Each structure stands twice: as C-alpha cells, then as structure tokens.
C-alpha cells in the first residue's frame, strides 16, 4: 500500500460521515481523497444509474424529463446529467459519488441543555409524548398553532437523543427558519457542535451531532441521522415535492424516527399519525386559544367605500370593537381601497 502509516485527518472523517458527495467537489486536497480511497474508506457509486431505470443517485430523481444528454468533455462520451439537483453541482453519468464507510466520527454524550423556560401543562404533555416516541423509535406528528412554543417542545427530545450519542437533524423547507432556529439551538445547547446548512452557508468545522438544514441540503446526506425532525412539514416546496420528501427519508437511517412539526397538518399526515403518535396544542404559550375564523359576508364593500361610506355592517362591527376596547385588524385586498377606507375608518375612531 502506497500510503501505509498515513494518519487520517479527523476533519476529513468528520466532514464526510453521513454525506454523499461529488468526488470532484471535495473541500480537501486531492491526494488526501486518493489516500482515503486506497484505504477503502469510501464507497464509490456512479452519479446516474441507468438500470432498471434512470435515477440520480444523489437526489433520487427518477423523472425521465429531468435528465439531459450532453457531449461530456470529461469522459468524452455522451453523458446524462440530472437537472433536478443541478444547483448543487452537476451530477452526471461519469460523476463519482463518495459515501463514507471509514472510521466513525467521535460522538459526545455530554450536551448540557441551558434552557430555563417553563412549559405549560399542554406543552409538557406534548414534549413528553414526543420524547416517548423518540425513545421507541416511532415517528410522531406534532400539530401546534403558531406561537405554541414548538421549538422549545423539541428541546427535551433533542437533548435525550444527543446524550445517547445519536445524530439529530432538524430540517425545514425554508432557509429563514434555519437561520431563525440556529441561534436558539446554539443558546440552548452551548457545548454542542451545531451546523446550519443552506445554500451559500459558510463552511463549518467539526462533526456536527446536531444539524439544522433546509430539506434541499438533505440531498447531500445518506443514512446519516438517528433522529429526523421536519419543521414546517407542510410548507412549500416540501409539501408538493416528492423528491424532497424522499430526501428526508434517505438522509436518515432506515429505522430512525421522523418527527413532523407543523401548524397546519395535511390530511395525509393526520390520517397517518392521529391515532397513534400525535400531539396537538391548540393554545399558544400564553394559554389563550387561537380564535377560530368565522365567515361573515360583506357584499359590495368596494362600491360603498368608493361612494365615501363605510358598509353598515363593518361600521357596526368596528364600533363594537371600539366600545369593548379590543384590538383589531382590517385587511384590504387592494392598496387603493385601503387609502379610501382609512380616513373613513379614522372618522369612527374620533368618536371613541
């Protein structure tokens, strides 16, 4: 063996464990990668498999319309590439994908939780139910209204998993959610290496036992996580993109549970989980229930406003709010209409 006695850089192992990565996109020197290949620490697979049908081995896209044939300068043949995950670097037939099968990264079991908040009775129950599901390796649905403190509810489960030496991923379809969650988890778990992964994310050091990522970034993982949490499980584009849903499944280990967290569970999720692993919080953290909207018609309001009058029904409703000293919001579908209505509404306010 050419590289006998060579010592594997821990940073390389820490980066690659759980990832599926283009060989040519390595953030490490080429000769290091060659050494690791000689040590058989990588399982190498082709980028696009042709049999039994076309499939991108990174993003698992199988839609024949999302592949393009081109004259490849690298292999000097007709090559096929996957358009579906193109923005993460082109995967084509002659691409080699690296999957780490070398020594495992060192996982810590010490992850102190620094969170001093208190749960309401409902939150406490939901947090306990999620934890029980995680312990039993059972997938779980948490349906909680906005403002129910969903993130904090996850702390006990994440804490338990980390201290078991497990690797946890919190995935969400939205980058802004990753950016919002990152500092909150960093504060709650100050001794834990946490990575936040999204498009254009800076390079982060060490082996992250807790990963916060957009669902898109999960294309780059394979059987990596022992616990998968999908936040905003009904947000676009995750809800309509089957490949993203497959990415979540592929990024976790086969028997790892998924916790779906959402304010608006789809019928499909409810149907799947309502009767077994399901927590529901209809109240926000301050314990006021979320008002349930009620439909009241207000016909021809636009005409009425344009004639310089507030529709009688709306006028009465506004007066009731003012008498009861209740805050309220009136939403207009058009800015121009709002400009007409605002002074009229203000004239009612003057009387109170």
The pair of structure tokens assigned to 329 is 């919001």
Contact 163, 110 (CB under 8 A): yes
Using CA atoms, how far apart are residues 127 and 347, in angstroms rounded to an integer?
49
Q: Tell me how far, at minimum, the Cβ of 187 lies from Zn ion, in Å.
A: 36
Closer by beta carbon to Zn ion, 88 or else 344: 88
Task: Tell me how far CA of residue 250 lies from CA of 156, 245, 348, in angstroms.
Answer: 25, 9, 59
Give the residue carrying structure tokens 């059987």: 223
Q: Considering only 32-40, 75-83, 124-132, 151-159, which stretch makes contact with Zn ion by CB under 5 A?
A: 75-83
CB of 75 to Zn ion, least distance (A): 3
Nearest CB to Zn ion, comparing residues 78 and 124: 78
Measured distance between the N- and C-terminal CA atoms of the chain, rounded to whole angstroms:
89
Residue count of the chain, please give it: 352
Among 12, 22, 33, 79, binds Zn ion (CB under 5 A): 79
- Rounded to a whole number of angstroms, the minimum distance from the CB of residue 41 to Zn ion is 24
Output the smallest distance, CB 23 to Zn ion, in A: 13
Residue with Cβ nearer Zn ion (61 or 262):
61
Give the torsion sign (CA, 224, 229, 231, 234): positive
Does residue number 233 form part of the binding site for Zn ion (CB under 5 A)? Answer: no
Least separation in angstroms between CB 46 and Zn ion: 11
Q: Please give the residues from 81 up to 100 whose contact with Zn ion meets the rule CB under 5 A.
A: 82, 84-85, 94
- Of the candidate residues 22, 48, 56, 304, the single one contacting Zn ion (CB under 5 A): 56
Interhelix angle 121-135/150-163, rounded to 10 degrees, is 30
Region near Zn ion per CB under 5 A, out of 50-58, 137-145, 180-188, 332-340:
50-58
Give the Å distances, CA to CA, from 32 to 13, 35, 47.
11, 5, 21
Contact between 81 and 70 under an 8 Å Cβ cutoff? The reply is yes
Among 44, 69, 75, 101, which residue interacts with Zn ion (rule: CB under 5 A)?
A: 75
Tokens representing 110 are: 């010490």
**Which CB sits closer to Zn ion, 56 or 304?**
56
**Helix, coil or strand: residue 268:** helix
Enumerate binding residues for Zn ion (CB under 5 A).
56, 58-59, 61, 72, 74-75, 79, 82, 84-85, 94
């Amino acid at each position: 063996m050419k590289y006998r006695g060579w010592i594997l850089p821990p940073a390389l192992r820490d980066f690659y464990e759980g990832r599926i990565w283009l060989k040519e996109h390595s953030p490490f020197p080429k000769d290091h990668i060659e050494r690791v290949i000689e040590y058989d620490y990588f399982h190498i697979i082709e980028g696009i498999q042709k049999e039994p049908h076309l499939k991108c081995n990174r993003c698992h896209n199988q839609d024949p319309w999302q592949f393009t044939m081109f004259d490849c300068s690298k292999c000097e043949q007709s090559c096929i590439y996957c358009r579906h995950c193109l923005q993460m670097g082109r995967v084509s037939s002659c691409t080699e994908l690296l999957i780490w099968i070398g020594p495992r990264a060192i996982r810590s079991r010490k992850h102190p939780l620094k969170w001093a908040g208190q749960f309401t009775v409902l939150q406490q129950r939901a947090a306990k139910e999620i934890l029980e599901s995680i312990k039993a390796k059972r997938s779980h649905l948490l349906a909680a209204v906005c403002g129910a403190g969903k993130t904090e509810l996850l702390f006990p489960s994440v804490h338990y998993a980390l201290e078991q030496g497990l690797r946890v991923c919190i995935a969400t379809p939205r980058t802004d959610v990753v950016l919002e969650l990152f500092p909150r988890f960093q504060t709650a778990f100050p001794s834990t290496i946490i990575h936040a992964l999204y498009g254009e994310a800076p390079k982060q050091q060490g082996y992250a036992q807790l990963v916060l990522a957009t669902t898109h970034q999960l294309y780059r993982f394979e059987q990596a996580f022992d616990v998968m949490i999908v936040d905003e499980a009904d947000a676009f584009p995750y809800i309509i993109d089957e490949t993203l849903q497959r990415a979540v499944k592929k990024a976790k280990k086969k028997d790892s549970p998924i916790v779906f967290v959402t304010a608006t569970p789809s019928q499909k999720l409810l149907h799947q989980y309502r009767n077994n692993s399901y927590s529901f919080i209809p109240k926000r953290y301050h314990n006021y229930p979320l008002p349930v909207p009620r439909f009241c018609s207000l016909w021809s309001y636009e005409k009425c406003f344009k004639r310089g009058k507030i529709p009688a029904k709306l006028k009465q409703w506004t007066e009731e709010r003012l008498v009861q000293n209740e805050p309220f919001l009136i939403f207009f579908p058009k800015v121009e209409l709002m400009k007409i209505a605002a002074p009229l509404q203000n004239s009612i306010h003057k009387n109170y």
